[in-house]
Amino acid sequence: MSASKKLRKTSLFEVHKASGARFTGFAGFELPARYTELKAEHRAVRERAGLFDVSHMGVISLEGDLALQATQLVTTNDASKLKDGKCQYTLICNESGGVIDDTVLYRINKESYFFCVNGSSKDKVFLWFREKLKDLKNLVVTDKSSELALIALQGPLSERILQKICKADLSELKYYSFTSTTLDGVEVIISRTGYTGEDGFELYLPNDSAKGVWEMIMASGKEFGILPAGLGARDTLRQEMGFPLYGQELDEETSPLEASLKKFVSFKKGDFFGKSALEKELREGVKKRLIAIELIDSGIARAGANILEDGKVIGKVTSGTFSPTLERAIALGYIDNDRASSKSPDKDKERKISVEIRGKTRRVVLVKRPFYKKPKAS
Amino acid sequence: MEFPDNVKYTKEHEWVREEDGAVVIGITDYAQDSLGDVVYVELPEEGSTVTREETYGVVESVKAVSDLYAPVSGTVLEVNEAIVDSPEVINDEPYGEAWMLKIELSDSSELGDLLSVDEYKKFVEEEN
């Protein structure tokens, strides 16, 4: 239970500690796993709002007249489609088409982009950019991660909470857009992005302002029932949406096509790292496919559990949890491509698929992602 | 954190209460609090035997899975099926409603090896 001494602390560590957080090690940081109960935090985000410290995430910028060209080379999505102030989900692949990281790209202007990268990937992404882009003239690659804190405000009431303390008109800020503004004099970048399936914002701000802004948002959200939320809830929220997590569903041995992320790969744009490997994979077919399963029997399938069909191992679970909203066990995993979901959900239901949990087989059913669909507001 | 003094404890955060010549076992308040929201419990069948310090079941929270260690050896007389259906009771009532098994001891001297409430409290403090 004790955290390793090597773990770094975010600039909000003392704030979390004072709130009674239980910490866990993640991506080299000591981060709140939960403050009270995971389910309560999860529910707060689905119904009202939750505030997350995600300062373990990294920020890497590409600046210079060749910034767009550089970005196109190291990403799979078409960055030329991005306008100033817009974000784009994209992937950074190696030459074999394996995923080095999945990331959100921000375009400040045509000579200035930055990536929000996963905490566990930021060092290798930085080195990859430096190495692969070294011949591009006047291109500056900067790892800004240690200067910045990153806070995510997520949930249907996020706009009302943040608008109270923010001068910019947030109703004008569309999904996957961002703006530079000030919160009580603090310079922040606010993007309408997130990892929970709910409306919400992510705020990039200097470390020394993090505590003040965190407390300001908590105070503003008090009347709306905001809760600080930990990594535990962040994980159950993203799993309910079927979002991949780097290190679980994505790694350098897995391609975007296998992870059902083809729509974030532009084969029409110019060359990029991994393109020819991915084109080959497109022609010849993938080896495995990401699938979503729900357990019919009791138990929770965790990462590493075998997935079986007709007594034969056909794949492995990569993430699994108990969904607080659906109140049943859900999991993501990969199965051999020739066993992948058919086009017909009814046929999938008839298949006898199971997972192995502690030596026992438990029946599961293949389902479509997301597991959780938000009810339409009436 | 609750530390009732009518039960004995183990370092695996189990409790044992003597009742009608048998014992009732469960997990402590500290254990349920560390686990977080419990969503699944797996218990042995009535009539099976459990051995001290060996696993007899599993308890899972949203986040983690944890083995249940038998604090004593013996035969399972009763299984609390109610918590299999409503595992969240373990978070609410770890010493009451959420007992796990009733056991007929095979060696009553094992009771002497359990921790008193003060010893257990001290152990928990040291663990943190």
What integer pLDDT is reported at residue A2 of this predicted model? 43
> Does residue B112 form part of some domain?
no
Give the pLDDT confidence of A75-114 residue by residue, as tens digits: 999 999 999 999 999 999 999 999 999 999 999 999 999 9
Provide the residue range defining the domain that includes B100: 8-107
> Does residue B73 form part of some domain?
yes
| Residue B40 to residue A302, Cβ atoms within 8 A | no
What integer pLDDT is reported at residue A3 of this predicted model? 43
Query: By the 8 A CB rule, do A348 and A361 touch?
Result: no
Backbone φ and ψ for A127, nearest 5 degrees, come out as -65, -40
Neighbours of A309 (CB within 10 A): 17
Taking residues A292-305, report their average pLDDT.
94
Q: Of A118-122, A250-254, A350-354, which gets the smallest average pLDDT?
A: A350-354
Q: Does A300 touch chain B (CB under 8 A)?
A: yes
Angle between helices A122-132 and A67-74 (to 10 degrees): 120
Give the pLDDT confidence of A229-262 residue by residue, as tens digits: 999 999 999 999 999 999 999 999 999 999 999 9
DSSP string, A239-255: HHHT---BTTTB-TTS-
Please state the ipTM of this predicted complex.
Answer: 0.78
In the chain, the amino acid numbered B90 is I
Count of the separate structural domains present in chain B: 1
Distance CA A204, CA A178 (A): 10
> Does residue B21 form part of some domain?
yes
Which is more confidently placed, A65 or A376?
Answer: A65
Q: Residue for token digits 């066990």?
A: A329
- Which helix (H) or strand (E) segment holds residue B119: the answer is helix B117-127
Q: Does B65 touch chain A (CB under 8 A)?
A: yes
| Mean per-residue pLDDT of chain A | 95
| Residue B62 to residue A299, Cβ atoms within 8 A | no
What integer pLDDT is reported at residue B128 of this predicted model? 77
CATH code assigned at B12: 2.40.50.100
Give the pLDDT confidence of A183-208 residue by residue, as tens digits: 989 999 999 999 999 999 999 999 99
List the single residue in B34, B60, B127 with the smallest CB-CB distance to A300.
Answer: B60
In chain A, which residue's Cα lies nearest the Cα of B32? A37
Q: Residue for token digits 């897995």?
A: A254
Q: Does B82 touch chain A (CB under 8 A)?
A: no
| Residue A1 to residue B42, Cβ atoms within 8 A | no
> Does residue B71 form part of some domain?
yes
> Does residue B14 form part of some domain?
yes
> Does residue B37 form part of some domain?
yes
| Residue A300 to residue B36, Cβ atoms within 8 A | no
> Does residue B115 form part of some domain?
no
What integer pLDDT is reported at residue A374 of this predicted model? 85
Helical H segments across chain A, by residue range: 13-18, 38-47, 67-74, 122-132, 158-163, 210-221, 231-241, 275-284, 345-350
What integer pLDDT is reported at residue A377 of this predicted model? 63
Distance CA A356, CA A126 (A): 39
In chain B, which residue's Cα lies nearest the Cα of A330? B62
Q: What is the CA radius of gyration of chain A?
A: 21
Q: What angle (nearest 5°) sits at the alpha carbon of residue A94, between those of residues A91 and A95?
A: 130
| Residue A38 to residue B37, Cβ atoms within 8 A | yes
Q: Does A359 touch chain B (CB under 8 A)?
A: no
DSSP string, A121-152: THHHHHHHHHHHTTTSTT-EEEE-GGGEEEEE
Confidence of residue A222 (pLDDT cuts 50, 70, 90): very high
CA distance B1 to chain A (A): 14
What integer pLDDT is reported at residue B74 of this predicted model? 96
> Does residue B121 form part of some domain?
no
- Which helix (H) or strand (E) segment holds residue B81: the answer is helix B81-85
Residues 6+ apart with CB under 8 A from A249: A259, A290, A318, A319, A332, A334
Per-residue pLDDT of chain B (128 residues), as tens digits, is 899 999 999 999 999 999 988 999 999 999 999 999 999 999 999 999 999 999 999 999 988 889 999 999 999 999 999 999 999 999 999 999 999 999 999 999 999 999 999 999 999 999 87
Q: For residue A45, is pLDDT > 60? A: yes
Query: By the 8 A CB rule, do B14 and B26 touch?
Result: yes
Q: In what order do the strands lie in the sheet with B55-61?
A: B38-42, B55-61, B65-69
Structure pTM?
0.92
List the single residue in A1, A38, A299 with the smallest CB-CB distance to B40.
Answer: A299
| Residue B37 to residue A324, Cβ atoms within 8 A | yes
In chain B, which residue's Cα lies nearest the Cα of A299? B40
In the chain, the amino acid numbered A155 is G
First-to-last CA distance in chain B? Answer: 13
